[in-house]
Amino acid sequence: SHYSPITRTVNAQTGTTYTLVIGDAGDLVTMDNGSANTLTIPANSAVAFATGTQIDIINKGAGATTVTGASGVTLNGVSAGSGALNAQYAAVSIVKIATDTWLMLGAHAAVA
């Protein structure tokens, strides 16, 4: 049988705001707060993730997690777009497909 030795870091966030850092590339961020909370995808000029970077995000807490693009970041075709995860324990993946362009896949509402 084949064993894949990939162990991902879990970045457990408990506040109401978090902006991704370069060390989050390829990893999992959990957002665990009883109040509404926001995870921000920074502009490439602030944090230069490589194109093709994927980051998974889980709305672990009772408060709704919104993923939002910083100024200049396009998320699912929307400049500085935001989309809320659908429920507690809902999960999304975000994938950087160009310099300041990300796609969000998974259990989220429309990005506006």
Top-confidence residue, 42 or 7: 42
* Residue 89 tokens, joined: 């324990």
Neighbours of 5 (CB within 10 A): 4
Per the confidence metrics, is the pTM higher than 0.75?
yes
Average pLDDT, the chain: 96
pLDDT band, residue 7 (cuts 50/70/90): confident
Cα dihedral sign for 94, 103, 82, 50? positive
H or E segment and range at residue 59: strand 54-59
SS3 content of the chain, % helix, strand, coil (to 5): 5, 45, 55
pLDDT of 29 over the 90 cut = yes
